[in-house]
């Protein structure tokens, strides 16, 4: 553990968390002083010299942000390193905005580990070493693609991963640690050639579709639908396969280079893949790793024991395993070595090696030099993704209110007399249900995803506290003798109620009446794409002939599209607004995007057919006119 000799203050009204932070910082070599109130901490910071202060964002009397702003106003503390502690912010955009608003240098997100704390101290006090550890470029011989994907997932990175090998160049788009899109200069990976290779398309039809696409400026996929070769559902599936294969084919690259560029403003694409990194790693290993690659990876693990991860972020990742894969995962209980597990499946050695490589690279399984038995009765199965619908949406909001507005015992659904085993079982059940991977590809908005993340972080923090007898006892004492903090989410519930009222009015075509409740919904929750989209639609339909309504609806829909490009209604309504403005080319593009987001969008399909019919009729009219002129 590196020795970072700094004088640090911790300001937090949570006694248990103060004690935990003091232990972590002391272990790192810091001299630590703790206080329970912002006013006391502020006085000490202005009087004495400190290198760093950690401040909880939610405190009575003077809040964390208020303390931070006060420190920035004084000459003595204007350059003091400040870290805010919170479970509120998770996305890079939220954190950067909060840094700008409060003046904090860094954020420490709950729940956190000793590893997180050490990484934070390295970033603050040894940035050069941190830069070396987080090298953004290098050789694929030293770090292969599955390792890169998992590292980006672990650090929740957003940006572009550039991969090069000879003349082949690929760019993988990463959003919050998840690969979402891929571009490639490899000719054989274009849509038409892929479909020809799969036998879906003949070479003649492929050439014809390319020509028609060049002439009209439309997407090749749209042309293939018009030619009757693909259905919208076929195209949607084909685009997902294309993007996935562009990425997975790099798993066989034994050499080459990589370079990662941080960013958050890259172009979004509704044809993005919606698969967890763990699932992609497993697919890539099974489809592209050679036996030599497998042997090389497994060799150093042969005498090490395999145990299912204790980190919920990794343990409950979404991954598909067949019956044998489930059996192999179930054997990873800390009592068997890699060799022993492989030897138990003599007729399926390669498959076992593939599964173990995928599990280890994704950190669903940890390796250890010492055997450590785990109770199989407490081991949950692999998580599976779940579709999002209105009923599930309501359940998420209800659970959010129940969990975030209760103490740790009630959040986990255990009694105050519970033992560690009961806490562990309750936590595993809830963590499995609300791991963010389970909702990947479910069409969740950014705001709803944040609620899922908050619940997952909160129950994880509850497990950290209640699974330790000492911290559990301290926490219970605070509940009994001290004021209990609660999170006010009345605004969230009010916004959802207004949204549902507006949707009901839209369903009976009372557009003008729907404007008011939907406007209230976005005032309360301005980053919820569904709220924005339906408000814009109600506003436009209330007076479609008015230019100001068209303009405002357009602005709101574009903002909604930035927040969630996968919401097909946004593209559909944009198309109708463009049509009202006689911008048929832009409208056609929007209808195409709506079909890509939802192949069953009949309204968009109807409008595309009508646009194509008008185009053909226009071409016939021009032909008749030419004949008439020529005749004269």
Q: How confident is the prediction for the chain on average, in pLDDT?
A: 83
| pLDDT value for 92 | 58
Residue 31 in this model has a pLDDT that exceeds 70:
yes
Nearest to 11 by CA among 68, 69, 72, 88: 68
Whether residue 532 contacts residue 560, with contact meaning beta carbons closer than 8 Å, is answered with yes
Residue 269 in this model has a pLDDT that exceeds 50:
no
| pLDDT value for 576 | 95
Q: What phi-psi label fits residue 374: left (phi over 0), alpha (psi between -120 and 50 degrees) or beta?
A: beta
| pLDDT value for 374 | 56
Compute φ and ψ for 477, nearest 5 degrees: -65, -40
Give dist(CA 283, CA 105) in Å, integer.
39
Separation in Å, CA 249 to CA 39, 168, 228, 285, 347 = 57, 11, 30, 10, 27
| pLDDT value for 286 | 94
Residue 253 in this model has a pLDDT that exceeds 50:
yes
Whether residue 418 contacts residue 470, with contact meaning beta carbons closer than 8 Å, is answered with no
Give dist(CA 558, CA 106) in Å, integer.
31
Would you tell me the crossing angle of helices 390-404 and 490-507 to the nearest 10 degrees? 160
Give me the percent of the chain exceeding a pLDDT of 70.
Answer: 87
Give me the percent of the chain exceeding a pLDDT of 90.
Answer: 27
Would you call 443 helix, strand, or coil by DSSP? coil
| pLDDT value for 531 | 92
| pLDDT value for 625 | 47
Nearest to 408 by CA among 143, 111, 156: 111
Residue 100 in this model has a pLDDT that exceeds 90:
no
| pLDDT value for 4 | 64
Residue 110 neighbours by CB under 8 Å, 6+ apart: 85, 86, 87, 457, 461
Nearest to 23 by CA among 117, 104, 87, 109: 117
Residue 606 in this model has a pLDDT that exceeds 70:
yes
Give the model confidence (pLDDT) of 385-439 as tens digits: 455 566 777 788 888 888 888 888 988 989 988 888 888 888 888 877 777 777 7
Residue 311 neighbours by CB under 8 Å, 6+ apart: 363
Residue 121 in this model has a pLDDT that exceeds 90:
no
| pLDDT value for 480 | 81
| pLDDT value for 484 | 44
Residue 253 neighbours by CB under 8 Å, 6+ apart: 140, 144, 145, 163, 165
The structural domains of the chain, ordered by start, are 7-131 (3.40.50.2300), 137-262 (no CATH), 290-366 (no CATH), 390-487 (1.10.287.110), 492-616 (1.25.40.10)
Nearest to 196 by CA among 185, 184, 208: 208
| pLDDT value for 169 | 93
Give dist(CA 597, CA 564) in Å, integer.
11
Mean pLDDT computed over 35-43: 88
Residue 217 in this model has a pLDDT that exceeds 80:
no
First to last CA, the chain: 93
Give dist(CA 292, CA 288) in Å, integer.
11
pLDDT tier at 107 (50, 70, 90 boundaries)? confident
Residue 628 in this model has a pLDDT that exceeds 80:
no
pLDDT tier at 478 (50, 70, 90 boundaries)? confident
């Amino acid at each position: 553990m590196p020795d970072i000799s700094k004088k640090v203050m911790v300001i937090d009204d949570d006694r248990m968390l103060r004690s935990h932070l003091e232990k972590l910082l002391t272990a790192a070599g810091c001299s630590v002083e703790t206080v329970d109130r912002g006013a006391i901490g502020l006085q000490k910071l202005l009087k004495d010299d400190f290198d760093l202060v950690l401040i909880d964002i939610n405190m009575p009397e003077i809040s964390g942000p208020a303390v931070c702003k006060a420190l920035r106003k004084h000459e003595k503390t204007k350059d003091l390193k400040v870290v805010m502690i919170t479970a509120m912010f998770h996305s890079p955009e939220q954190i950067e905005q909060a840094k700008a608003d409060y003046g904090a240098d860094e954020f420490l997100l709950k729940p956190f580990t000793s590893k997180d704390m050490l990484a934070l101290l390295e970033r603050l006090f040894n940035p050069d070493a941190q830069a070396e550890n987080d090298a953004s470029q290098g050789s694929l011989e030293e770090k292969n693609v599955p390792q890169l994907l998992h590292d980006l997932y672990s650090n929740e990175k957003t940006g572009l991963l550039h991969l090069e090998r000879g003349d082949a160049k690929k760019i993988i788009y990463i959003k919050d640690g998840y690969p979402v899109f891929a571009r490639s200069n490899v000719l054989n990976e274009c849509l038409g050639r892929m479909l020809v290779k799969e036998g879906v398309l003949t070479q003649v039809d492929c050439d014809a579709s390319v020509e028609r696409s060049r002439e009209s400026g439309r997407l090749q996929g749209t042309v293939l639908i018009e030619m009757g070769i693909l259905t919208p559902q076929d195209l949607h599936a084909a685009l997902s396969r294309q993007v996935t294969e562009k990425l997975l084919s790099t798993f066989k690259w034994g050499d080459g280079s990589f370079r990662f560029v941080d960013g958050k403003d890259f172009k979004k694409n509704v044809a993005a893949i919606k698969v967890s990194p763990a699932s992609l790693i497993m697919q890539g290993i099974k489809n592209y790793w050679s036996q030599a690659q497998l042997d090389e990876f497994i060799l150093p693990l042969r005498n090490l024991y395999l145990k299912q991860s204790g980190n919920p972020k990794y343990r409950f990742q979404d991954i598909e395993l067949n019956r044998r894969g489930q059996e192999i995962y179930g054997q990873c209980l800390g009592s068997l070595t890699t060799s022993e597990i492989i030897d138990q499946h003599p007729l399926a050695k390669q498959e076992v090696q593939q599964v173990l490589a995928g599990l280890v690279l994704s950190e669903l399984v940890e390796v250890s030099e010492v055997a450590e038995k785990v109770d199989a009765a407490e081991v949950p199965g692999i998580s599976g993704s779940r579709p999002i619908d209105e009923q599930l949406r309501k359940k998420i909001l209800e659970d959010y209110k129940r969990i975030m507005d209760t103490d740790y015992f009630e959040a986990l659904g255990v009694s105050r007399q519970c033992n560690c085993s009961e806490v562990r079982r309750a936590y595993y059940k809830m963590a499995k249900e609300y791991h963010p991977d389970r909702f990947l590809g479910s069409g969740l908005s950014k705001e709803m995803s944040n609620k899922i993340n908050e619940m997952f972080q909160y129950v994880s923090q509850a497990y950290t506290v209640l699974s330790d007898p000492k911290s559990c006892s301290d926490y219970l004492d605070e509940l009994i003798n001290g004021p209990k903090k609660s999170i006010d989410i009345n605004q969230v519930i009010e916004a959802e109620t207004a949204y549902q009222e507006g949707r009901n009015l839209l369903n009976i075509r009372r557009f003008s009446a729907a404007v008011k409740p939907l406007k209230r919904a976005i005032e309360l929750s301005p980053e919820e794409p569904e709220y924005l989209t339906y408000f814009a639609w109600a506003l436009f339909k209330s007076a479609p002939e008015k230019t100001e309504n068209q303009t405002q609806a357009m602005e709101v829909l574009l903002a909604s599209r930035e927040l969630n490009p996968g919401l097909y209604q946004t593209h559909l309504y944009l198309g109708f607004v463009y049509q009202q403005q006689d911008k048929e080319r832009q409208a056609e593009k929007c209808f195409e995007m709506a079909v890509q987001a939802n192949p069953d969008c009949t309204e968009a399909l109807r409008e595309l057919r009508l646009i194509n019919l008008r185009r053909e009729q226009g071409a016939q009219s021009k032909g008749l006119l030419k004949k008439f002129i020529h005749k004269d």
